[in-house]
Amino acid sequence: CSRWEEEKKEDGVKWMQLEHRGPYFVPLYEPLPEDVQFYYDGKPLKLSLATEEIATFYAKMLDHEYTTKEIFQNNFFHDWRKEMTSEEQEIIKDLDKCDFREIHKYFVDKNEARKALSKEEKQKLKEEADKIQEEYGYCILDGHREKIGNFKTEPPGLFRGRGEHPKMGMLKKRIMPEDVTINCSRDSKIPEPPEGHKWKEVRFDNTVTWLASWTENIQNTLKYIMLNPSSKLKGEKDWQKYEVARRLKDVVHTIRAQYRKDWKSKEIKKRQRAVALYFIDKLALRAGNEKEEGETADTVGCCSLRVEHIQLHPQLDGQEHVVEFDFLGKDSIRYYNKVSVEKPVFKNLQQFMKNKDPTDDLFDQLTTTFLNKHLQHLMDGLTAKVFRTYNASITLQEQLKALTNPEDNVAGKLLSYNRANRAVAILCNHQRSIPKTFARSMQVLQEKIDAKKKQVEEAQEEVKKAEEEFKDTKDAKAEANVEKKKQQLKRLEEQLARLNVQATDKEENKQIALGTSKLNYLDPRISVAWCKKFGIPIERIYNKTQREKFAWAIDMAGEDFEF
């Protein structure tokens, strides 16, 4: 049997044996050279080691937008002062008088020097990194040697956060062995902490899959060292996720009929739940869990929408009952959409908004817990998130069917694949900012296209010339020459077509992030089946890391797999 289908363990037990080396701790701080100085109020000031280290965190970020934000500056300065000696606290009282430019330049130069290393020196560095990976990057789980995902602790630095995060600029402290809980099996060789240190605790809990954990000091959340996505354990979990989404396919019609009926319910709580579920299903919105204020950036999902986040238009752009959404979702990505909804939904929303302030909750009777309890009751394992997975995967499958032309060459088929993937990314609102290098690389591509066009025109001339020569001489050599020139022209035309496809793809893709949906929302078996059916090499769709993560799907799916 394949390694995806080995013996099942009893419920809740994730492994019988787990042995590893513990986390790899990032190297300690190396002080700055004597001639690189920090200046306060125009005068050089020698800092204590701890204070200097934190100063370098800020200095490294000088050319970053973050350091121009007041909240970042204030949080940084507050945390930095806490770590200073009392003498330093007496002197350093104003961030505006601090000059980090020399330190910044030192790190920029150091970076440039690293880029300029010879091939041999780079190779040596790679070998050192590989050695650490070999030693710390693997564990033994139930007799299999499995790769670990993130085996290094995060280095200390300044917290960034996404969007307008209220904690940006705060000091992310160095993780010490004393902060770390180790998890392994009782009979394994228990990892040794670094010399002179001890672990916070060692536990033997086989109902969880993490190898080590610690609490990070900014959000006070637990961080874990987990297995790599390519491991059997993660692969199985991934596979199960898509199997749950496939089960939704069989009941989704019943669920849709149910929430439509609930739009007319006597209970406002049920009506709110039904409208929210309609949004989650139709628009693939995230559920929107309750969040503590001031802890994170002000972002919302479906259940936490406020009145100010939607506008109702009885008529707009020739459509009826239009809801205009405008809010910041996960990671502070703006969601903006105008959607024509069914009349009862529109009427309900008008009621939910009546006599409310802009900052009041739209669904004031609804929590994600209440919603997910209801979903679990409709289908075992169903949560709001499953709708996103289901709608993303089904969209990819339908789009691939609609867009793929079996007559196309590989480049043409890949363009269709990317267009299908884009439809999903748009549904899930996976955006990116236009890459800084976009204009330049587009220009390079356009120059290639222009050069290729010229070559095609020249080749057309050559064919004409060869044909005329053959007309005159009628000999075999001239005939062969016509064939040869036609072949050359055909090859150049194919190359030009390929470049044009590439340009179209690049332009359509500049503000859309395809990776998120590809890795997290799309059943890989759909893509594997599509590749097998149309003879597309799988590496044109998935890179090496992705092929490792989706090994279970590549193993399993034939060309007629249906989600």
Cβ-in-10-Å burial (0-12, 13-18, 19+) of 401 comes to exposed
Contact 206, 10 (CB under 8 A): no
Rounded to whole angstroms, the Cα distance separating 69 from 493 reads 52
Among residues 34, 73, 80, 74, the alpha carbon closest in space to that of 53 is found at 80
Rounded to whole angstroms, the Cα distance separating 79 from 87 reads 16
- The count of other CB atoms within 10 Å of the CB of residue 147 is 16
Residue 101 tokens, joined: 């430019």
Burial of 284-305, coded b for 16+ CB within 10 Å and e otherwise, reads: bbbbbeeeeeeebbbbbbbbbb
521 tagged catalytic: yes
Would you give the end-to-end CA distance of the chain in angstroms? 23
Element (H, E) at 18: strand 18-19
Catalytic residue among 66, 335, 417, 521: 521
DSSP string, 27-94: PPPPPPPTT---EETTEE-PPPHHHHHHHHHHHHTTTSGGGGSHHHHHHHHHHHHHHS-HHHHHH---
Active site residues: 521
